[in-house]
Structure 1
Amino acid sequence: MATAARKASPARGLLSIGQVLAKISPDFPDLTPSKLRFLEEQGLITPERTPSGYRKFSVEHVDRLRLILTMQRDHYLPLKVIRQHLDEIDAGNTPALPNAQSLSADSLLSTPTRYTREEFVRACGASLNLLQDAVSAGMLEPADSYAEEHLVVFSALVELQRSGIEPRHLRTMRAAAEREYSLIERALVPVSHRQDAASQARSIERAHEISRHIEVIRSQMLRHVITQQSR
């Protein structure tokens, strides 16, 4: 998947968008023609073009697309980080797969990419109706544009909808999150009153650390309930 993934030889067997979807959709059912075009617009993949303007994809393009979608789905990586990883590969390097925990402070503090509502739903293969439902249920804030961090949440809502779980069914999760924040807030009282930048940074980091511990317990409890109910 080096530079050839961007500029495949026209002499090689190429696939149409429909053929690409047929190959990849079993593993990535949320992939749609519009999402594929969105990834192209973001510079992550560059298919060949026929004289008539139709997109054609090589085997290398398909492999590259699988990598992109896997990094999105399994590692929750923003497109900016994925693009940087692919650039390293295109340059002939063999970079380690990045992960959300290892992102640098510069990456976390840099201005995030923003997507219009239309771009946002297209990237997730969803509809504006689902976005509106997510906003109404408190899963996402109402906005004219969204950052890459919101793609993870909305992609999860898309997958849940496929199982018949709508945003309105998850309203209790928002209330639970607010209760958990109250626990975290109380735990941070000893340091939260300090106004210097270093103390504020430690307070935020500690809040995220506590939330990760809560997430571990919540996930384990849910797995336990699933196991018990399945017996």
Structure 2
Amino acid sequence: MSTSAARAYMTIGEVLGLLSAEFPDITVSKIRFLEAEGLIEPERSPSGYRKFVPADAERLRFILAAQRDHYLPLRVIKEHLDAVDRGLDPPPLGARRRAPRGLVATDSVADETAEVRLTRRQLADAAGIDGEALDELEEFGLIRRAGSHYDRDALMIARAAAALRSFGFEARHLRAVKSAAEREIGLIEAAVAPTMRQRSPGARARAAETAREIAALSLKLHAALVSMGLREGLDP
């Protein structure tokens, strides 16, 4: 049997399953994004499907751990990997810059009470985008500064936009998403307005809690509607 025939290949879904326990935030789009950025180079079948080998999975594990544990930007991780690929001895990752104080490093942002305050450079590095892409996100109103820094929402939006960018979506394409979000915000604000007008103690807190519940339900509805539309439009 030839070496290539005996080689153990994995699909992108199998790689996702292999790494998801250790890295719950990993998604298919994230793997595709890392490939688009040149950090991984899986083989391709004649029909264009990605074919991962164990070494690809280990390289992904290294990249994800470097982001999570050392909070390195992708350009630094790529430089490190390029040095390894060339047979050079790169400096230990621990010697690199660590996460800025107050920065939550995971996409899930499990601790929603943790403060996130980022400079422009920190936000770009954390999201894996360049200054031009960040300029576009700000130009189209998708990201705004909170005072002199960027907050948790800006980080989450920048990361989502970076992942969508690997599919060809530019900031201008996301204006429709922003407009839809603004309409939802208007509906929610109208729903909690009577509570906000109350003079009783805790009225604002109750209104905020109700708004969060409505928003969560709205997101579920939105996801179901998109899923239904795609199924009707794409399924054979």
Q: Does 1:115 align with 2:118?
A: yes
Q: What is the CA deviation profile of residues 6-64 of structure 1, one whole-angstrom value per residue up to 9, with x for unaligned ones?
A: xxxxxxxxxxxx89x965664798x698x5896269xxxxxxxxxx981158xxxxxxx
CA, structure 1 residues 210+118, in 2 after alignment: closer, same or farther (shift >3 Å)? Answer: same
CA distance in 2, matches of 1:27, 1:56: 14
CA, structure 1 residues 189+125, in 2 after alignment: closer, same or farther (shift >3 Å)? Answer: closer
Contact 1:139/1:174 (<8 A) preserved: yes
The structure 2 residue matched to 1:176, chosen from 180, 188, 213, is 180
Taking CA–CA contacts closer than 8 Å with sequence separation of 6 or more, which of the two structures ends up with the larger relative contact order?
1
Name 1:131's counterpart in structure 2. 134
Contact 1:32/1:125 (<8 A) preserved: no
Contact 2:68/2:106 (<8 A) preserved: no
Name structure 1 gaps, 5 residues minimum.
1-17, 42-51, 58-70, 78-99
Name 2:71's counterpart in structure 1. 39
The structure 1 residue matched to 2:222, chosen from 205, 212, 218, is 218
- 1:72 maps to a residue whose letter is T
Name 1:55's counterpart in structure 2. 92
Contact 1:38/1:123 (<8 A) preserved: no
Q: Residues 3-152 of structure 1: matches in 2 within 5 Å?
A: 26=60, 39=71, 54-55=91-92, 72-73=106-107, 76-77=108-109, 100=110, 103=111, 108=113, 112-142=115-145, 144-152=148-156
CA, structure 1 residues 195+36, in 2 after alignment: closer, same or farther (shift >3 Å)? Answer: same
- 2:152 maps to a residue whose letter is E
CA distance in 2, matches of 1:32, 1:137: 33
CA distance in 2, matches of 1:230, 1:192: 44
Q: What displacement does 1:174 show?
A: 1.8
Name 2:30's counterpart in structure 1. none
Identity %: 24
CA distance in 2, matches of 1:22, 1:55: 21
Q: What is the CA deviation profile of residues 164-196 of structure 1, one whole-angstrom value per residue up to 9, with x for unaligned ones?
A: 011110112222222112211221132110245
Give the paired residue count: 157
Contact 2:70/2:93 (<8 A) preserved: no
- 1:131 maps to a residue whose letter is L
Q: Superposition RMSD on alpha carbons, in Å?
A: 3.5
CA distance in 2, matches of 1:213, 1:150: 22
CA, structure 1 residues 27+168, in 2 after alignment: closer, same or farther (shift >3 Å)? Answer: farther
The two structures have a TM-score, normalised by structure 1, of 0.57
